[in-house]
Amino acid sequence: MKKFNVKTIVIFGVLVVVMVLLVIGITQIRTFMSGAAGGVEPVGVTAVAGNDGKTAVITWTSDKESIAKVEYGATAASLVLMSAEASETTSHSVPLTSLRPETMYYYRIRVGDEVFDNGGIPYTFKTKSDASAVVTPSPEVVITPPVSSGSAVSCDSKTDYNGDGLINALDLSTCKKNGGKVTGEGTVIAPKPTTKKSTTPVVDCKGTIADYNSDGVINSADRVNCLQSQR
């Protein structure tokens, strides 16, 4: 049986002690580092999109004070944009600006070398629509027809007679085409009906009398008939 001398036993014992001390030291270092990093994990992460559609605010809390930054982007694979805090705090609020309206954004939180997300998947939020892009409908144009008084139609230069949405010289032209007559600035008078005068010559019943009653005889009865026709 091979015998071990005292020197060999001592050397072996020293090696065992050194290994034990190394294991204890590594364990203590890990425990210390774990304690230093612990407490900065984000709690209650919330994203609030701004009403302008171009901003958002990311908020959360942590047990220990820390300085964090938010890394974000329009796709989960390109979180190249960043917004950071200015000082240590336990109540975190990081604003994001210059966003696109109605767009889904992805983000994560970084504290030092530690990255925090939603279980390996980036957090998300969607921006609102751009309030400034809302189009206000134009007021309805009401076309007022000209007021008729007897045979005349009065028109002014502030009425859209042709209904094209504009008030200009074409409106007076339209009024004229519809039978009116332009007599002054902004005034149109419709033509008045004319009375046709009789072309029948006036006969003097006191002079020569014709056979007005067509009885073949010219007498006093024809004079009476002539006078009656002049009434």
pLDDT tens-digit map of 91-113: 999 999 999 999 999 999 999 99
Same domain, 106 and 154: no
Predicted confidence at residue 180, as pLDDT, reads 67
Q: Confirm whether 218 is domain-assigned.
A: no
Pair of tokens at residue 195: 């009375």
Q: Confirm whether 92 is domain-assigned.
A: yes
- When pLDDT is averaged across residues 25-35 and rounded to a whole number, the result is 56
Helix, strand or coil, per DSSP, at residue 134: coil
Q: Confirm whether 112 is domain-assigned.
A: yes
Same domain, 50 and 121: yes
Same domain, 114 and 153: no
Q: Confirm whether 122 is domain-assigned.
A: yes
Q: Confirm whether 161 is domain-assigned.
A: yes
Same domain, 111 and 57: yes
H or E element at residue 18: helix 6-37
- State yes or no: pLDDT of 56 exceeds 90: yes
Q: Which residue has the higher pLDDT, 202 or 53?
A: 53
* Model confidence band, residue 48 (pLDDT cutoffs 50, 70, 90): very high
Summarised one tens digit per residue, pLDDT across range 150-203 is 454 656 677 777 777 777 777 777 777 776 665 554 444 444 444 444 444 555
Total tally of structural domains belonging to the chain: 2
Q: Which residue has the higher pLDDT, 148 or 71?
A: 71
Q: Which residue has the higher pLDDT, 209 or 35?
A: 209
Predicted confidence at residue 27, as pLDDT, reads 61
* Model confidence band, residue 135 (pLDDT cutoffs 50, 70, 90): low
Predicted confidence at residue 37, as pLDDT, reads 54
Same domain, 70 and 125: yes
* CA angle at 43 for the pair 37 and 44, rounded to the nearest 5°: 165
- State yes or no: pLDDT of 51 exceeds 50: yes
* Model confidence band, residue 6 (pLDDT cutoffs 50, 70, 90): confident
Q: Find the domain containing 183 and state its range.
A: 147-189
Q: Which residue has the higher pLDDT, 116 or 2?
A: 116
> b/e string for 146-183 if b means 16 or more Cβ within 10 A?
beeeeebbebbeebbbbeeeeeeeebbebbeeeebeee
CATH number at residue 84: 2.60.40.380
Q: Confirm whether 229 is domain-assigned.
A: no
**Residue where a domain terminates, one of 81, 105, 131:** 131
pTM beyond 0.85: the answer is: no
Same domain, 152 and 100: no
Predicted confidence at residue 194, as pLDDT, reads 45
Q: Confirm whether 196 is domain-assigned.
A: no
Predicted confidence at residue 181, as pLDDT, reads 62
Summarised one tens digit per residue, pLDDT across range 70-98 is 999 999 999 999 999 999 999 999 999 99
Same domain, 109 and 165: no
CB 110 within 8 A of CB 69: yes
Residue with the two structure tokens 């604003």: 95
Backbone dihedral region of 115: left (phi > 0), alpha (psi from -120 to 50 degrees) or beta? Answer: beta
Same domain, 57 and 81: yes
- State yes or no: pLDDT of 36 exceeds 50: no
Predicted confidence at residue 38, as pLDDT, reads 77
Same domain, 120 and 86: yes
Residues facing 123 on adjacent strands: 107
Same domain, 124 and 164: no
Q: Confirm whether 26 is domain-assigned.
A: no
Dihedral sign from CA coordinates of 60, 63, 69, 75 = negative
* Beta carbons within 8 Å of 219's beta carbon, 6+ residues apart: none
Same domain, 163 and 94: no
Q: Which residue has the higher pLDDT, 217 or 203?
A: 217
Same domain, 151 and 98: no
